[in-house]
Amino acid sequence: MRGISSVINIHLRHKLTWFYLPWMIMAFSFLVNLLIGVLINGETLYTGGLGTIYIFMFVTSLTTAIQLFPFTTGFSIRRTDFFIGTLTFITLISIFNSALLVVLSHIEVWTGAWGDHMRFFNLPYLNDGSWLIQFVVNVILMLWFSMLGLGIGAFFLRFRGIRTFIMLAAVTIIISGLSLIAMRYEWWGPIFKWFASHSALDLTLWMIPIVLILALCSRQCLRRSTV
């Protein structure tokens, strides 16, 4: 427990990366898009600025694994403690961010999309359902992006640069190949219909096994890392 709390305290010292920077950038994006919505004074503007927080969770988790793991092991913190402490912190920050997003989403509804100018925090499909459903969807999405980043970082620590590059290239080729096959046989229409027939909650709940697999793979890579 002492090692786990030490890891959490180390993460808390990086408030700029985990707390301030993503929300500052998202606030700037919000103000810019709101200004655009006011100036065009037309139909309600739909933006993708909300994706900033998920991208930051991915990038920060990735860099955390690469930069802080060697640092903590140098202070004789166990690898398992680093993993549990990091996973606990990521879960807590995901809960915090998700709760704040739900509050902002409801404020956006109460203000009538900021005077019918822009939809930034409350988006169709993603924010369907009650506040609890929106909260659960956001938490799972953040954990998914975070575990993906942590998994890539842990893979890098275990296998280093060239093998990580090969892994990412192979995944990119496989995804591109599947996309071409779907295009060739005109599968995209049924795929989109299938997604549309399920709610955001349904889809994110199916992400939970992927999150668990990524977490287990990250733990194994960290345990076998040569750092």
pLDDT digits (tens, 9 = 90+) for 65-86: 898 888 888 778 889 999 999 9
DSSP string spanning the chain? Answer: -HHHHHHHHHHHT-HIIIIIHHHHHHHHHHHHHHHHHHHH-SSPEE--TTHHHHHHHHHHHHHHHHHHHHHHHHTT--HHHHHHHHHHHHHHHHHHHHHHHHHHHHHHHHTHHHHHTEESSS-TTTT-S-HHHHHHHHHHHHHHHHHHHHHHHHHHHHHHHHHHHHHHHHHHHHHHHHHHHHHHTT-HHHHHHHHHTS-HHHHHHTTHHHHHHHHHHHHHHHHT---
pLDDT digits (tens, 9 = 90+) for 164-208: 999 999 999 999 998 999 888 888 889 889 888 889 999 999 999
Rounded to two decimals, the pTM is 0.91
